[in-house]
Amino acid sequence: MQTSDVEYQADDRRMIGYLAVPDEDGPRPAVLVCHEGPGLDDHAKQRARQLAEMGYVAFALDYIGDGKPLPDMGATMKALGPLMKEPQKIRDIGKAGLDILLGQPKTDASRVAAIGFCFGGTMSLELARGGADLKAVVGFHSGLGTARPDDAGNIRGKVLVLIGADDPIVPPKQRADFEEEMRKGNVDWRMNLYGGAAHSFMNVSASQMNTPGIAYHAPTEARAWQAMLDMFAETIDA
């Protein structure tokens, strides 16, 4: 496996993503990795390496800037707040990262997925709503709401969202609205709801935040990752 930082432009800012390329000869299926709200961190990079070890070209994009996480939750919400109201900007930033992935020599552009954690899951879903050619979209404890739900009809691949039943950031009303959006869009979708899991259940460092409703949950991490692999088996591995 080879890894490298990749500098690129998006939203008139310098972004620095993280590329992990498997040793196998191409073309290979590829996965866009969208980090959690605070920024590109070791968790997103580790997921990219994990995917490359499995034979996928993986690119962890940057949507905060400079390839560095923000210092605290206040700074994170200040950065994400305006984005939440602008689906097209979310899609444009995501597409800039997707273009980096598609430009890799080993990437098979016909077998591409996007995954994301927290707001990164939202970004993956918005890319799909914008009509990106993604065979699979997977959101881990992702925000499900959008200002443009009618765009679900543009989704071209299969959708999987993995949500903690005790996640206060993705409450039942948001889940119900997402179900209705997917039905109206005639999307091939599924939602896994995990008991005992809160927000950021995939990230081992989440519990260190000492924030109610945000915690790592090892059983759900394993189950959700396997659910993603099952989706890949149906789509980009097929």
List the domains of the chain with CATH numbers: 2-234 (3.40.50.1820)
Tens digit of each residue's pLDDT (9 = 90 or more) over 129-181: 999 999 999 999 999 999 999 999 999 999 999 999 999 999 999 999 999 99
Residue 238 has pLDDT above 80, yes or no: no
Tens digit of each residue's pLDDT (9 = 90 or more) over 20-36: 999 999 899 999 999 99
In whole angstroms, what is the distance from residue 30 CA to residue 6 CA? 16
Tens digit of each residue's pLDDT (9 = 90 or more) over 55-89: 999 999 999 999 999 888 788 888 888 888 899 99
